[in-house]
Amino acid sequence: MPPRPRNRHRQQQNQQTTPLDAFADAFANVGVNPPDAPPPSPPPQQIHPHELAIPDDASNPILALEEAPPPPPVQQQQQAGQPSRQPRREQTLAEQYHGPLRELMQWRDGIQYPRQHPFSREQLLQVTADDVYRWAKFRIYGDPDANEGTEPPRFYRLHSVLAWKRAISHFMPNNNVPWNDVAQVGNPTRSPAMSRLTRAMRRFQTQRRGVASKVRRPLTPKEYESIIECLWKLENKELGLCGAAFFTFQFSMIGRVDDAAKFREADLKAYPPFPDYGITARLPWSKNVTDERDAPQQVLCGAMDTRFDPLSNMALWLEYHYELNPGQNAFIFGYEGLDDPIRIKETIRRVLNEVLRGNEFSVATVGLLGTHSTRKFAVTFARGNGCSKVR
């Protein structure tokens, strides 16, 4: 009797690369052996970081090391340690809030004011609650005399109006005092008319009438995996490795894009109980962090699926990064030696938009996607696995 053929499913499983072998291949050139990994025999050929390439097979991403064209030479090697571009200054709160105030004053006075025009205290004291109320209706409905109780909003949603109120209130001399209609003094954004307007807008939004929502939905697991695979396939190897490391780190930290862009070398350390298997990270330069206790050390461990593994992705990225940019750079994700978190964030946003618009990215459901979708996916993933909601 001829021998019975082997099970096809088992044969396919044996041909696939196990996560442990993939993890060993990813770290073969940096001399780090994963736990319980068999010693290589014969020893692997030494491969320089500039020879790393992203495999075309998405089923085994970033886990094969093959020859690739060497990167372009780093310019200005004699100035090692200097970023290629000067960091940009972050806008102050007054600069961020000045836009709505300038729009209001232009509509009220009929004068085109330049950007960041300083308005005097006397000019601000002349602004009344009726001015703010009619200007807001002009922008929302296109008519300052529109009836907010019967007409749904046409151009803006409630969160935009609340942002205008907050911005204009920042400059008002009496911003802590509610508006008094009899004495015509106080904060003109805190008037009964504006409260009536926001209540009407909230009711229309609840009824799904008016301007459609532009909120970005969370990614699905398949979409997140597709993004990482597309990043591994980018022709720009440096940008692909940086993006994959960035998003796996952001997913593990459940952080914002701008917070992860500010991740620095001083906040990356080994995990003392198991220094070979884990790392710790902090994001003290974050939006809502005002005290050191708000940004504790968080432990990052590896994952069996390299699309979710921050250790292997960050290891490949850092080795490649330090080879191309040997100078001093405090930021972990300093693509092309960037020493500016604002430009790092813009680079990550640009590459994510390119991936989302690409043909290889597979959309799982209907809805808008953006940079905030990655953080929402991390929160949804954690809540779905038993984590409690922390306010």
Q: Same domain for 221 and 175?
A: no
pLDDT of 388 reads 77
Q: Same domain for 224 and 330?
A: yes
Distance CA 348, CA 317 (A): 14
Q: Same domain for 201 and 221?
A: no
Q: Same domain for 223 and 365?
A: yes
Could you identify the residue written with the tokens 């500039």? 50
Q: Partners of 269 in the beta sheet?
A: 280
Q: Same domain for 182 and 240?
A: no
Q: Is residue 165 pLDDT above 90, yes or no?
A: yes
Distance CA 315, CA 309 (A): 10
Q: For the chain, give the percent of residues with pLDDT over 90.
A: 58
Among 187, 206, 225, identify where a domain stops: 206
Q: Is residue 5 pLDDT above 80, yes or no?
A: no
Q: Is residue 353 pLDDT above 50, yes or no?
A: yes
Alpha helices of the chain — where are they, by DSSP H? 8-15, 19-26, 93-109, 121-125, 129-141, 158-171, 192-206, 221-232, 237-253, 257-261, 310-324, 341-357, 371-384
Q: Partners of 268 in the beta sheet?
A: 281
What is the band of 391 on the pLDDT scale with cuts at 50, 70, 90? low
- Tell me which amino acid residue 170 is: H
Residue 170: which of 262, 228, 94, 272 has the closest Cα? 94
Domain count, the chain: 2
Structural domain includes residue 12: no
- Helix, strand, coil share of the chain (percent; to 5): 45, 5, 50
Structural domain includes residue 85: no
Q: Same domain for 221 and 298?
A: yes
pLDDT of 55 reads 40
Q: Same domain for 357 and 243?
A: yes
Summarize the confidence of residues 129-149 as an average pLDDT: 96
Question: Per-residue pLDDT tens for 170-193?
Answer: 999 999 999 999 999 999 999 999
Domain encompassing residue 242 = 217-384
Structural domain includes residue 365: yes
Q: Same domain for 360 and 254?
A: yes
Q: Same domain for 355 and 232?
A: yes
CATH number at residue 281: 1.10.443
Structural domain includes residue 100: yes
Q: What angle do CA 15, 20, 24 make, to 5 degrees?
A: 105
Q: Is residue 330 pLDDT above 70, yes or no?
A: yes
Q: How many CB atoms lie within 10 A of CB 2?
A: 4
What is the band of 224 on the pLDDT scale with cuts at 50, 70, 90? very high
Structural domain includes residue 48: no
Ranges 78-92, 136-150, 182-196, 246-260: which has the least confidence: 78-92
Q: Same domain for 135 and 247?
A: no
Burial class for 59, CB neighbours closer than 10 Å (0-12, 13-18, 19+): exposed
Among 142, 177, 206, identify where a domain stops: 206
Structural domain includes residue 58: no
Q: Same domain for 188 and 233?
A: no
Residue 378 in contact with residue 251, Cβ under 8 Å?
yes
Top pLDDT among 325 and 77 is at 325
Ranges 4-13, 122-131, 283-292: which has the least confidence: 4-13
Which pairs from 267-273 meet CB under 8 Å and 24+ separation? Answer: 268/332, 269/297, 271/299, 271/300
Radius of gyration of the chain (CA): 27
Q: Same domain for 125 and 168?
A: yes
Structural domain includes residue 88: no
Among 171, 206, 241, identify where a domain stops: 206
The C-alpha torsion from 360 through 343 and 235 to 318, rounded to 10°, is: -110
Q: Is the peptide bond before 42 cis (omega within 30 degrees of 0)?
A: yes
Ranges 130-134, 141-145, 343-347, 366-370: which has the least confidence: 366-370
Structural domain includes residue 45: no
Per-residue tokens: 245: 């490391």
What is the band of 38 on the pLDDT scale with cuts at 50, 70, 90? very low
Mean pLDDT of the chain: 81
